[in-house]
Structures are given as structure tokens and as C-alpha cells.
Structure 1
Amino acid sequence: MAEEMTLDARIRGDIENGIRQGTLKPGDRIPFEHELAVQYGCARATVSKALTALSRAGLIERRRRAGSFVAYPHVQSAVLDVPDIGSVIAARGDSYHYALLAREEFSGHGEQPLGVKGPVIRLEGVHHAASHPFGYEERLINLSAVPEARELSFADEAPGSWLLGHVPWSDARHRIAAVTADARIARLLGIASGTACLQLERWTWKMGTPITWVLQVFPGDRYDLVAEFTPQSTG
């Protein structure tokens, strides 16, 4: 029994080291249980125990009939915060870049999510972490409130990062929903159509004037929302 436990720990350690050192990257498939059993000369139950421990640690994702894959690290952000996705990804040690897909300017008529009349910029892009698609984003910017945005292409800097660094906001509202990826979003994020995703919708204002509206979609295994609370006084 002790030998089985030692071998289980060895299998787990070998795979974990591969993930930590980068030889196994997010999305890579782990060998099937029967392949690992042959490689290590052990029972499949021993391999299953090691993979289960890695899954519980959040290092791999086990998919029914498809096998086990290296998990994408989760990004955490406070529910009531307006995070800079690039900074959060960089802080966990991954490279980051934003790929602009579309940029257009139009005259708002109050019917779009930003709810303003006047010039509006619409931007569409994908956030990447360590060369992998991390999240899809569609954004509207009110040019009446942020006229300097008209001169920016946002090809080299994510619009959210630029706004946080240049335009203070006084109020924000979040809407959070569980959705499934449609065919286009799935293609952009490199996931299967119908994959469970987290959708964040956010509005920000400066003293009552709308600044921006953004809709972001993240695969459900890549983003965590975190909130901390303290008990309210009952005295």
C-alpha cells in the first residue's frame, strides 16, 4: 500500500512539475490513464488517484471521454472592482496582449447599451494570456465625455487599460450572467461551441455622464469573481 501511495505521489509530482516549468501548457492534453499506467508500470487506479488530486488542486481539467487537460489559471477580481485585465494577467506571471478586431465610430441614438445620443466608438477585441485567448470584449465609448479617444486606434493598448489610466469614473454597475458560447465567440476563444462561459456587462459614469459600456465573455474555467464581506452591526 505504501508503495502505491509513493508511486501516486510520483505521478502527480511529475505532471505538476511539467505544468509549473511550462513544458505542459494550458490546454495541453495529459496522457490517458492507460498510457500513464503503462509508462509507470502501475494500475490505472493509481493513475486515477494522481489525476484526481491534480484536478482538485486546479492544475488539470478532467473531461468525460475526452481525457485530462492542463487547466487555464484562474484570474480573480473583486465583484465591485473595475479590474485592468492586462495588469491582473501580468501579475500572475503570464504575458498579455490585446488583439483589436474592429473599430468603428457612429452616432448614438440612445438605443445602444451606453444609452447616449452623439458620437460613440465601438471596439471589439480579444484578450490573450500567455498566447492563449482569454476573453472576448465588445466596448462602447462616449466620445462626448472622452473626446480624446477619437485619436486612438487601440491597436497597441486595450481600451479598458487606457480608460482606467486616463478617465476617472465615479459610478459603476455590473451585470453578471452564465452563458454558453455561440459559434463566433467559441471560434475567437478557441473553445467548443456551447461551452459554459461567464459574461460580465459593465457601465461606468463620471458625475452622471456615461463613459463606457463593456461586455466581456470568459470561458468558465478561466475567471473567478471574488467578494469579501464583514458582518453588519446588529446593535
Structure 2
Amino acid sequence: MSAPLYLRIRAQFEERIRSGDLPPGARLPTEAELREQHGVSRATAQRVLHELAQAGLVVRHRRRGTFVAEGVRQENLLRLINPRLRGPEIPGRHAVHSAAVVPAAESEVDLPGIDGGTPVTQLVRLKFDADENPLALEITAVPFALAPHLLDEDLAELTMMVYFGRTGVPIARSRMYLDAILLEPHQAELLGMDTTTPLVRQRRYTWLTNGELAESGAYLMRPGAMEFFVEHSVLAEGDP
């Protein structure tokens, strides 16, 4: 069963905003323009813009229009554990800090079920906001045997779920944990923080269909840089 049209239109705008295709301050179509472009009713066009505003992604000004919001980015946590995710796990510009094959015991992320001597490919990237300030530190580790050619990829733009799909790695499920931590000195230096300020860490584990670990990831977010939410669409009978 396909999602209602208003949800599909809203999702298109969310993706464009989070990818940077619609930067802060960019103007969105008016209700009339949405009706003409998508062939929808006035109520549907209003709902799309209203829900984008409720999510904090846009700001609506009477008689001026609807514009992409400045400031804190919002992100649906469900998106970050979706095995079918397309696009960067953390949207925006990434810069590769390091990429190397290391023993699992030396990785910066936990690798449950992986022997400490097993080689893993570890990728450490920095995410920057629109003003080129460090926003987050992303650490990903994948068993080398599962992705032996990973380092040949364009690592700045790499999305692991897309890579797994393209190379036939059978992903089954993902789980995410949230906890507050203090940074290691080298992590604090990369994010321009001190080691006494706690921040939120997201830990994501992804497993293969045979139950073995496919990926372990950690996302260390600067405090105040991003707000996270969980949203489910509750569809009433007869919704458009």
C-alpha cells in the first residue's frame, strides 16, 4: 500500500532540505504552486507545508511565503536505523579524517561478536554545518572480509547501506542506542570541544541475515547542533 500523496510530497521536500539542495532561507512553493505542480487539493497543499513547519524544517510568514528554517537541524531517528536508507546517514558535507584497516580490538567503536584480532575497515569522518563548523564526528567499522574493496570507494560521499545493497551484502536489521558520553581528547579536538562537556552519542549496529555483525557506527553530535525526534504517520481511514 503506497503512502498518501501528501506524505510523498512532504518526504520530497524533507530530503531536499536535509541534503542541502534547499538551503536555509530558500523559498518553498506556495499552496497555489503546490496545487498546480502536483494536482492536489488546497487542503493537501496546506497539510504539506503545515507539517514541514511542525517538524521545524520551514518557517511560514504571512503574505511572504514559506522558507527553509535557519539554526538547529531536526532529524527523524527512525531514518538513521532504516536498512533501506538512501543518502548520507548525517546529511551535509563530510570530510574524511582517516580510513584504514585495523584489528577489531583497536577500533573506536564496539564490535560485538567480532574477535579482537579480526581486521575491520574503520572510517572516521567529520560532518560540517552550513557555516563549515564541525557538527558531528562519524565513526564506522565494517569487517574487512565483508567489504574488501571499501577503501576504493569515494569515502566522503559513501553511504554504507547503499554500498551493501550495491555489493549484494544481505542486510537484515539495524538497532540504535543513545547515550551521553565524554569525548576522548583526540575526538574533542576534532569537534572543537573540551573533554568535560557531555554530548549525545548514537550507536548503530547492523546485522546480516545470518545474525553476524555487518557494521558498527557511532555518531558524536555537538550539543545544541541538532534536535532528534521520532515520528510515525497515523493514517485515518479516508485520508488522501
Give the TM-score, by structure 2 length: 0.53
Q: 2:94 aligned to 77, 93, 98, which one?
A: 98
Residue range with higher mean Cα deviation, 128-137 or 101-110 = 101-110
Structure 2: runs of 5 or more not aligned: 1-23, 27-55, 57-69, 235-240
Q: Which amino acid counterpart does residue 179 of structure 2 have in structure 1?
A: A
- Against the structure 1 CA distance between its residues 106 and 86, is the aligned structure 2 distance closer, same or farther, given a 3 Å change threshold? closer
Q: Which amino acid counterpart does residue 136 of structure 2 have in structure 1?
A: G
- Identical-pair percentage: 16
Partner of 2:44: none
Partner of 1:147: 148
- Against the structure 1 CA distance between its residues 100 and 85, is the aligned structure 2 distance closer, same or farther, given a 3 Å change threshold? same
The offset of 1:87, in angstroms, is 6.9
- Against the structure 1 CA distance between its residues 109 and 99, is the aligned structure 2 distance closer, same or farther, given a 3 Å change threshold? closer
- Against the structure 1 CA distance between its residues 128 and 109, is the aligned structure 2 distance closer, same or farther, given a 3 Å change threshold? closer
Q: Which amino acid counterpart does residue 95 of structure 2 have in structure 1?
A: A
- Against the structure 1 CA distance between its residues 191 and 75, is the aligned structure 2 distance closer, same or farther, given a 3 Å change threshold? farther
The offset of 1:213, in angstroms, is 0.4
- Against the structure 1 CA distance between its residues 183 and 75, is the aligned structure 2 distance closer, same or farther, given a 3 Å change threshold? farther
Judge conservation of contact 1:75–1:222 (CA < 8 Å) in 2: no
- Against the structure 1 CA distance between its residues 74 and 80, is the aligned structure 2 distance closer, same or farther, given a 3 Å change threshold? closer
The offset of 1:152, in angstroms, is 3.0
Partner of 2:214: 211
| Pairwise CA RMSD | 3.9
Q: Which has the higher contact order (CA 8 A, sep 6+)?
A: 2
Q: Which has the larger radius of gyration?
A: 1
Is 1:191 the equivalent of 2:193?
Answer: yes
Q: Measure the CA separation in 2 of the matches of 1:178 and 1:84.
A: 27
Q: Measure the CA separation in 2 of the matches of 1:135 and 1:85.
A: 17
Partner of 1:224: 227
Judge conservation of contact 2:88–2:159 (CA < 8 Å) in 1: no
Q: Measure the CA separation in 1 of the matches of 2:129 and 2:162.
A: 18
Partner of 1:116: 114
- Against the structure 1 CA distance between its residues 160 and 98, is the aligned structure 2 distance closer, same or farther, given a 3 Å change threshold? farther
- Against the structure 1 CA distance between its residues 181 and 163, is the aligned structure 2 distance closer, same or farther, given a 3 Å change threshold? same
Q: Which amino acid counterpart does residue 213 of structure 2 have in structure 1?
A: P
Q: Measure the CA separation in 1 of the matches of 2:231 and 2:203.
A: 21
Q: Deviations over 1:55-95 (max 9, x none)?
A: xx9xxxxxxxxxxxxx8422312247426674763xxxxxx
- Against the structure 1 CA distance between its residues 73 and 85, is the aligned structure 2 distance closer, same or farther, given a 3 Å change threshold? farther
Give the TM-score, by structure 1 length: 0.54
Q: Measure the CA separation in 1 of the matches of 2:230 and 2:199.
A: 19
Is 1:200 the equivalent of 2:199?
Answer: no
Q: Which amino acid counterpart does residue 138 of structure 2 have in structure 1?
A: E
Partner of 1:169: 171
Partner of 2:67: none
Count of residue pairs brought into register by the alignment: 162
Superposition pairs of residues 129-140 of structure 1, within 5 angstroms: 129-130=129-130, 131-140=132-141
The offset of 1:149, in angstroms, is 1.5
Q: Measure the CA separation in 2 of the matches of 1:179 and 1:108.
A: 21
Q: Which amino acid counterpart does residue 110 of structure 2 have in structure 1?
A: P
Whichever structure has more strand as a proportion of its residues is 1
Superposition pairs of residues 50-129 of structure 1, within 5 angstroms: 72-79=71-78, 81-82=80-81, 86=88, 89=91, 96-108=92-104, 113-114=110-111, 115-117=113-115, 118-129=118-129
